[in-house]
Structure 1
Amino acid sequence: MAEAGAAGELESVRVTRILRDDIVLGRRMPGSRLVERDIAAELDVSRLPVREAIRTLVAEGVVVARPRTWAVVREFTRQELQDFGEVREAVETMIFVFAAQRRTAEGVARLRAVYEQEFAAAEAGDVEAARIAATRFHEVAAHLAANDTIFEMVSVFTTRLRWLFGQHDDLVETAEEHRVILEAVEAQDAAALRELIPQHTMNSVASAARRLGVDPASP
């Protein structure tokens, strides 16, 4: 029985990862139904790990559970995008300023390697790879900030952060923004980052709004 339990736990982790990536990368769009039996058949698992995965994603804020019907991928409103963008702007500015102030040669090299992966994927038109690398760019910066409290804060809404970063279609432009941010980190230019990050955040929210058909400027 213990082996079966352990196997079930591993299956739920795998199913959660697959569904999370599908949502974050736009394979399952907001409003899409998550039907347990269909997902179980698709992934060749029982319905239990699918049910557990959906519960996890509800807790992470990207799936909405609807009693007596199907769970659905969360549809973000204009106000929710704006609210999340405001929080992200404040936290991300702190992250990149601290990353710049505490930068090391090894840390900058890690950040540059991720940017180069993103740029190469963007130029090649590899949408998923570019979006994954764009998300990774911010994750690496969070590590380089070397502040456990901020890292814990970010981990609470990391899936929603990944989702927001994954909505852009202007792949090369986003990579170019990351190049400028990278150079500011390398130069330890905190003043520049305090201007760059809010604009970068605004652009990300606008991209997400366009992709979802939400007017970010509407009342």
Structure 2
Amino acid sequence: MGGLTRQAPGVLAGAVNGKGAKPMSTPVTGTLNGRDDEARAEQVYQLVLEGIVAGDYAQGERLRERALSEIYNVSRIPVREAIQRLEQDGFVETFPRRGAVVRRLTLSDVNDFFDMRLCLETFAARLAAVQVGQGASGETLRQLLEDGRTAIDEGRGDDVVRLSAAFHAEIVRLSGNRLLIDSVKPLFGRMRWIFGLAHNRSNELQRDEHVELCKAILGGHAELAYSLAYSHIELGRVPVLAGLAGKLEP
């Protein structure tokens, strides 16, 4: 099969479950070309992940291999590989005789998510400051900060969440630690998913915290960057859990 036909995740979700197609606010069309099953599996992974994060694939919703392979114009092999990876990254669960379904998040999952961020992202912030102090460029981090400010000023909520995740991902990239970078990757999809469900903190407050964290990293102040990252992450825990208390099981 020559390539992937890319459509809006909401439309795909309807087809996967045998329902009418769901409307999307921003339909996407085009063709994604993959030269082999590995490339196609990556493309299917990204498209389904975007659908989960955006809420177009609901929690508990079944993902059928056959339907996905028809929608994306690929064999079942890359679809199966994409689903396996989504399961490894915590977005999908598989059950005997039922197959793959979008994972149902719990409040315990969200707590674990914040605990993991405290362990990994604070360390990344410290390393990033060291790297910048030794000459690494922090220009991308600075630009993401400015893009986030603009999104807040213009009231673009979805972009605020996306750019916030990108800001944190860039801090991890700046750490220069390859194993850390690979370990943290699934967290940022989870971040967009969780914050899309409950984002109860002031965007302006988070912007100000990002500004101070960025200053510490670009100034090469490793311990200050660590402390600011820790407080920034921890301050987000309570409002997010409060916002999800009526939506998720314990």
Q: Aligning the two structures, in what range does the TM-score lie when normalised by the shorter sequence?
A: 0.7 to 0.9
Identical columns (%): 25
Conserved? CA contact 1:25–1:131, under 8 Å: no
User: Which residue does 2:214 correspond to in 1?
Assistant: 182
Q: Measured at CA, do residues 31 and 139 of structure 1 come closer, stay the same or move farther in structure 2, by a change above 3 Å?
A: same
- TM-score after normalising by structure 2: 0.70
Correspondence 1:116 to 2:146? yes
Residue of structure 2 aligned with 1:162, choices 189, 196, 199: 189
Conserved? CA contact 2:124–2:175, under 8 Å: yes
Offset of residue 214 of structure 1:
6.2
Deviates more, 1:37-46 or 1:58-67: 37-46
- TM-score after normalising by structure 1: 0.78
Correspondence 1:129 to 2:159? yes
Q: Measured at CA, do residues 176 and 72 of structure 1 come closer, stay the same or move farther in structure 2, by a change above 3 Å?
A: farther
User: Which residue does 1:66 correspond to in 2?
Assistant: 95
Offset of residue 215 of structure 1:
8.9
User: Which residue does 1:192 correspond to in 2?
Assistant: 224
SS, match of residue 64 in structure 1: strand
User: Which residue does 2:7 correspond to in 1?
Assistant: none
Q: Measured at CA, do residues 203 and 63 of structure 1 come closer, stay the same or move farther in structure 2, by a change above 3 Å?
A: farther
Separation in 2, partners of 1:165, 1:119 = 18
Correspondence 1:10 to 2:39? yes
Q: Measured at CA, do residues 15 and 43 of structure 1 come closer, stay the same or move farther in structure 2, by a change above 3 Å?
A: same
Offset of residue 200 of structure 1:
1.8
Q: Measured at CA, do residues 194 and 52 of structure 1 come closer, stay the same or move farther in structure 2, by a change above 3 Å?
A: closer
* Structure 1 residue runs of 4 or more that deviate by more than 6 Å after TM superposition: none
Q: Which has the higher contact order (CA 8 A, sep 6+)?
A: 1
User: Which residue does 2:179 correspond to in 1?
Assistant: 152
Separation in 2, partners of 1:32, 1:205 = 27
